[in-house]
Structure 1
C-alpha cells in the first residue's frame, strides 16, 4: 500500500481573512513547482484529498478551502464575488511564499484561477490548469446544473444527512465519496454558493482569456455537458496558445468518474509523471 502523502491542515491570514488549506507532499519535492488546487462551488478541500494524495507524490501540493466553504472564514460579512475570491488566491500564494506555482482549478475554481492570474499579473505562477470551467456568462447559455440542486442539498446537510440521502443528489458516486460529501457539505455557506452561482451567469470570464499571463491547459469532461466543441473553438480563438485535453468517459466531476483518465489528461504538461 502506498504511504499517504498528506502532511497537515493549517490556516493562514491572507487578504484579510482566515484561509484554511491542506498540504500534501511537502519539502521533499524541493526544486519543483508547488501545486495549488482550487476546488469547485460546493467542494471543501478535504473532498479533493484523494486527488491531492497523488499530486503529493511528485509535488508540494496545497488544497484551499475557498472562503465560505470548509474551514476557511465564512459569514455574512464577506464578499463572495469572483474578484474577492481571486484576490484570496493571490494573497495565499504570497503569504506562503509560493514563488513557482502551478494553479489548478476545477469548475468554479478554474474561473477563480483565470481571474487570479489576470489580476495578479502571473506573479508566482508558472502555469494554469483549468478543469471543466463553466463557460456561462452574460448573454450565454446557462450553466447546466440548476441552483436548487446545490441549495436543497446544503439545507438537508445542515439538518444532518447520511450517504444514502446524499445518493439522491450524486447517484453515481461511491459509498466513500457520498459519506465524505454528506459529512462536509454543511460547511458550504448558502449565500456564498448563491453568489458564486449568480457569478457563473454575470461574470464575463471570456474577457480574461486573451490576457492570461502564463501557459494554460484546459481539461474537458467528455460527458460533463459544461464545455461543448463550439466552446473549445471560441476559447482557442481567444487564447490560441491554450492546450486542450479531454477525458471522454467522465462527467463534470472528472476525478470522481475516471481518476486515471484525469491524471492521464495532464500528459507531460507538469514536467513530472502523475501515475
Structure 2
C-alpha cells in the first residue's frame, strides 16, 4: 500500500507522518519504537485501512522528521508532539497503537487526555520495563556501526540485534530496513536517526524515569496488550499488575517464539488487533 508522505510543523520542528487514506473512517495513529520509523507499520496499515484512517508518525529525530535539541528527546516532548498532531489534524478521538517507546508515548497521551482515546494497543510495553532488556537495547545502540556498505549489511545487523526479525524472509526484511537508513555521499548507507538519541538512555529521560503507573491509572480507553513470549522488556508480573490496575485491559495476547517486539503481523497479534478494533 502506498501512503501519502506528509509534513507538519509542531513545536518548531518539521515532523513527518504517513497518511494511508480513507479519511472517512475513524482515525488510528501508529507510533514506533526507540529506533524505528513510520514505515514499520506499512504492512499492518494495509490490514487496517478498510475500517480505519491510519496515520503512522516519525517521532522527532527519526525517519524523515527533523532532528531536535538533544535535551528534548524525552517523553514529555514526544507526548506534546503527539497531542499537537492530533489537534492539528482535528481528530476528536483516536485509537493508538504503540510499539515499545511508542507505547510509552501512547500511555502518556491516553492518561493525559483520557477522553480523546477510544482504544489502545500496547505492543510489548507497559508502565514498567525490565532493566535487563533496556540495557540490551542501549548496548546495541551504543555499538551500532555508523554506516553500512549495503542494505544487506543493514539487514544482517537487524537480524543479530532484533530477535523478532531473525525469522523474517529476506526480501521482507530488506523492505523493512531500507527506511531506517539513507544513502551517503560515499555510496554507503547511514542511519536516519539522530546520533544524539544514542546518548538519551544514559543521560536523558531514562536516567530520570517517569512513574508511568500514574498516567496508566488514568486511562479510560479499552486496552489490548501484545507481548512477545520471550520478551526481555515486558515481564509477566507487569502484565498482571496492569490487569489489576485497569479492568478494561480486556485482553493480553502472547506471541510464541518472539522476543521484543512482535512485528504485529504474526497471526496471533494481527488477529487479536482485528478482533479488538472490531468490538
The verdict on a shared fold, with TM-score over 0.5 as the criterion, is: yes
**Structure 1 residues 163-189: Cα deviation after superposition (integer angstroms, max 9, x where no partner):** 235314424133234424255241111
Partner of 1:245: 252
Q: Is the Cα contact below 8 Å between 1:101 and 1:126 reproduced in 2?
A: yes
Within the alignment, does 1:149 sit opposite 2:155 as a pair? no
The TM-score, its normalising length taken from structure 2, stands at: 0.82
User: CA separation in 1, counterparts of 2:275 and 2:131?
Assistant: 33
The residue number in structure 2 matching 1:9 is 5
How far apart in 2 are the matches of 1:132 and 1:38? 13
Q: 1:208 to 1:160 in 2, by over 3 A?
A: farther
The residue that corresponds to 1:163 in the other structure is 152
Displacement of 1:196: 5.2
User: CA offsets per residue over residues 135-166 of structure 1, 9 Å max, x none?
Assistant: 546xx64435231212333x433x55432353
Q: Which moved more, 1:57-66 or 1:235-244?
A: 235-244
Please provide the CA RMSD for this pair.
Answer: 2.5
Which of the numbers 202, 207, 210 marks the counterpart of 1:203? 210
- Give SS of 1:265's match: helix
**TM superposition outliers: structure 1 runs of 4+ over 6 Å:** none
Which residue of structure 2 lines up, in the alignment, with residue 63 of structure 1? 56
Q: 2:16 aligns with which of 20, 27, 33?
A: 20
Distance 2:45 2:198 in 1: 23
Q: Give the alignment of 1:72-87 within 5 angstroms.
A: 72-76=65-69, 79-87=72-80
3-state SS of 1:117 partner: helix
Unaligned 5+ residue runs, structure 2? 161-165, 182-190
What is the aligned counterpart of 2:36 among 43, 61, 73? 43
Contact 1:151-1:190 within 8 A present in 2 as well = no
1: distance between equivalents of 2:127 and 2:159?
22
Q: 2: CA distance between counterparts of 1:237 and 1:259?
A: 27
Q: Distance in 2 between matches of 1:17 and 1:54?
A: 31
User: How has the CA–CA distance of structure 1 residues 78 and 229 changed in structure 2, closer, same or farther, with 3 Å as cutoff?
Assistant: closer
Given the superposition, is the C-alpha separation of residues 234 and 203 from structure 1 closer, same or farther in structure 2, using an over 3 Å criterion?
same
CA contact (8 A) 1:25 1:57 kept: no
Cα distance in 1, alignment partners of residues 214 and 237 from structure 2: 17
Q: 2:269 and 2:98 mapped to 1: Cα distance?
A: 13
Contact kept in structure 2, 1:128 and 1:215, CA below 8 Å: yes
Name the CA shift for 1:146/1:37 in 2 (closer, same or farther; >3 Å).
closer
For structure 1, list consecutive stretches of 5 or more residues without a partner in the other structure: none
Question: Quick one: distance in 2 between partners of 1:110 and 1:16?
Answer: 24
How many residue pairs match? The answer is 259
